[in-house]
Amino acid sequence: MSKGEPKSDKKKGNNSEMVRQMLTKDMTIELEETFNMLADSAGKMAHQKLPLALKALGMTLNESNEAAGSFQQEDITIDKFLQIVTDCMRHPNWAANEMNESFALFDKDGNGFIEPPELKRVFNKLDEKLSETELKDQLREFDIDGDLQMVIAEYYKMISSVKGSDFIFEED
């Protein structure tokens, strides 16, 4: 910190670093691209464009009221935008919506279950060739009722158990 630099700027910088550490590289790239599409040549986004930026990311201003309220009528910097988005991501409705959407990617037939063929399709797309036994073992690990079909609650449990997962759901 230089001699004339206010203390609050250092704190702001540390907060920005913490926010960036919470995001994966791919997430950061996507967020920066979204911001840059709406930012002016000075690297700031008009506060009126925030709802559009959030909508492009599948979020709403309601989910980020706390963070968004702090900018009021100011233009938004990339660091402030990242803070607003990470605050949105902590919102329970956003996390649940993301989980439901990701579950639907597995549950192609829409019957409310992830079954071995659906799991196999996903692993194949990831170039992971698993045997039938390995697929069933994958399902059994989180299949609470033992029917070799994963319902959304079991899926939440599986995703929440992944190290570094942003999705943490408390059990009742």
Kindly report, residue by residue over 12-38, the tens digit of the pLDDT. 445 667 767 777 888 889 999 999 999
Closest CA to 72 of 153, 80, 56: 80
Question: By three-state DSSP, how is residue 45 classified?
Answer: strand
What is the pTM assigned to this prediction? 0.49
Instruction: Give the pLDDT confidence of 33-60 residue by residue, as tens digits.
Output: 999 999 999 999 998 898 889 888 877 7
Domains along the chain? 15-90 (1.10.238.10), 93-163 (1.10.238.10)
Token pair 């997962």 is found at 165
Report helix angle 152-161 to 132-142, nearest 10: 90
Instruction: Give the pLDDT confidence of 69-115 residue by residue, as tens digits.
Output: 555 668 899 998 988 888 877 766 766 777 788 888 888 898 988 88
